[in-house]
Structure 1
Amino acid sequence: MKYFEFTFTTNPSTEIIKDVLAATLGEVGFESFVENEQGLAAYIQQALYEEEAVKSAITEFPLPDIQINYSYVEAEDKDWNEEWEKNFFQPIVVGNRCVIHSTFHTELPQAEYDIVINPQMAFGTGHHETTSLIIEELLDNDLEGKSLLDMGCGTSILAILARMRGARPCTAIDIDEWCVRNSIENITLNRVDEINVSQGDASSLSGKGPFDVVIANINRNILLNDLKQYVACMHPGAELYMSGFYVDDIPVIQSEAEKNGLKFIEYKEKNNWAAVKFEYTK
């Protein structure tokens, strides 16, 4: 699968501007982002790229008085382990219970759950707030013996942690073939079993499940569009955890969820990003 690598520069360049830019770009097909001092690197499948959609997103940027420029090239299939090492990718500790690191790290904090990843693309390391929020949910809830779906799995950090916490069997699905390959590698690195990885979107869920737990850390528009298909592979009492959107987006997410028989349980937030928990009641 071929990607374009965009370089967006913003003036001024602040954390909130970068977050809003990432959310805006996510709505027009961009899948992953890496922050830098000047703005963002952003990645989109070449087949999904529409020049007018990107221009409109920039023109209609919701924050005032922001100058945004961009350029793009065809993304290289780089050795992202080397890229992250050069950029000082540090181990991540979530909730003082889970540490996420790559194979090149030597000095590691001790934690109950130790996850090794070798990212083959510029995302999925666990640094983003949405990933750490879902990790917190998985650490806080009982997963023993529960079947689990990780939709939009990326590097499969979440599926791996869920399996370590006793979820079984686990299913991990991503639209990106790089993610599927990287997930398989990471599952092997962590010596966990009963995680089935496949490539696809929500349409590939037909005939799968029912699941006790569904995780979807993607973006608001995809979540709203695919909610019905998540619910179709859940049984009454099953739990759905979703992230990839802002706290201000919770009402529209909750409204669509309730239309599909889901009961709002709680939400967590970090730097204005949100993760929500629902229970299927029908």
Structure 2
Amino acid sequence: MDYLEFKIKCLDEFREILIAELSEIGFDSFLETEEGIDIYAPSESFDREAFEGVIEKYREEGRIEVFEGTMAKVNWNEEWEKNYDPIAVDDLVYVRASFHEPKPGFKHEIVINPKMSFGTGHHATTFQMLRHQGMLDHRGKRVLDVGSGTGILAIMAHLLGAREVEAFDIDDWCVENGNENFDLNGLKTRMGLGTIREIKPKGPFDLILANINKNVLLDEMKIYADLLVPKGYLLLSGFYTEDIDDLMEVASPLGLSLINKQSKDNWAALILQKS
């Protein structure tokens, strides 16, 4: 199967925005370059209308130029290894691939094999979720990771002392990759496949982690609230700073209060607490 290849030139601050939005419309592989990003999608399932909609949305502001081509199927793991760098979240955690050397000076280390599932720590939403996790006591707690991706947040919960971690995702590739990453980091949990309504996790949970997107968060907010213990915490990301009011309009009547927020590259992250 051939892949469509798009070399996109853009301003630095638009790389992560484009990666996040394009990942939702069928692009499964991304490589950051000096000028922007290279992105790839299977030609047979490519949605050109959706792609052009995303590009036009940011073209002028992001100074976007697009160059299109085709290529044969690629060994994405090999390509990613050439371009994947470790990241550090303060002194809390060092996130590296298995082919990188450990680095001292951090409280925790997470090893993630870079197999293109979303959530390696490089994106602003994942970075902020990890930082927020470091602010909360996980010891002896039950934690639910909604839309787990690579499993990085579930692994962080495990490292922070959670008694039990449950995780799931709607993408079978994420589930396979996530379970491999769980094994690498000593987490015995197996990731489930499906939506929260299909998985039907059995609460209550002390912490719920949901790094998805605004529409899913709004749709599932009541489920999160119902699954939380009183005084439990809901950590949210995957949306822009201008979306915070819309989310709180739904969360507040459910007894969820905002106790902390942060933003990075216009991506927001919230800690809510159930009354």
Q: TM-score when scaled to structure 2?
A: 0.84
Distance 2:143 2:103 in 1: 29
Are residues 23 and 123 of structure 1, via their aligned partners in 2, closer, same or farther at CA, if it must alter by over 3 Å?
closer
- Superposition pairs for residues 12-91 of structure 1, below 5 Å? 13-22=10-19, 24-25=21-22, 33-42=30-39, 50-61=47-58, 63-64=60-61, 66-69=63-66, 71=68, 76=73, 78-80=75-77, 82-87=78-83, 89-91=84-86
Question: C-alpha deviations, 1:233-267, integer Å up to 9, x for none?
Answer: 22332211011222222222222222433211110
Show the counterpart of 1:151. Answer: 146
Distance of aligned partners of 1:5 and 1:213 in 2 relative to their CA distance in 1, 3 Å threshold: farther
1:116-152 Cα offsets, whole Å, 9 max, x none, are: 1212226432112211111111111101111111111
Tell me what 1:137 maps to. Answer: 132
Q: Which residue of 1 aligns with 2:111?
A: 116
| Percent of matched pairs sharing the same residue | 37
Instruction: Determine which of 120, 126, 134 is the counterpart of 1:125.
Output: 120
Q: Deviations over 1:142-174 (max 9, x none)?
A: 011111111111111111111111112111111
Contact between 1:33 and 1:122, CA under 8 Å: does it hold in 2?
no
**8 A Cα contact 1:228 1:260, kept in partner:** yes
Identify the match of residue 93 of structure 1 among 72, 83, 88. Answer: 88
Change in Cα spacing, 1:275 to 1:60, as seen in structure 2 (3 Å) is closer
- Quick check: 2:6–2:40 contact (8 Å CA) kept in 1? no
CA contact (8 A) 1:98 1:112 kept: yes
**Structure 1 residues 248, 262: CA separation in 2 closer, same or farther (over 3 Å shift)?**
same
Equivalents in 1 of 2:261, 2:19: separation in Å?
Answer: 21
CA distance in 2, matches of 1:220, 1:31: 20
Conserved? CA contact 2:87–2:122, under 8 Å: yes
Q: Secondary structure at the match of 1:16?
A: helix
Could you list the runs of 5+ residues in structure 1 that have no partner in the other structure?
Answer: none
Deviation at 1:22, TM superposition (A): 4.0
CA gap of 1:246–1:184, structure 2 versus 1, over 3 A, is same
SS in 1 for 2:141: coil
Q: Which SS does the other structure have where 1:278 is aligned?
A: strand
In structure 2, the CA distance between the partners of 1:76 and 1:251, relative to structure 1 (3 Å rule), is farther
**Letter in structure 2 aligned against 1:146:** K
1:256 and 2:250 aligned: yes
Please report the RMSD computed on the Cα atoms of aligned residues, expressed in angstroms.
3.2
SS of the residue corresponding to residue 79 of structure 2 reads helix
Per-residue deviation at 1:274?
1.6
* 1:226 match: 220
In the comparison of the two structures, how many residue pairs are matched? 275
| Aligned AA (1:84) | W
Partner Cα distance (2:97, 2:11) in 1: 28
CA distance in 2, matches of 1:205, 1:47: 30
Match of 1:265? Answer: 259
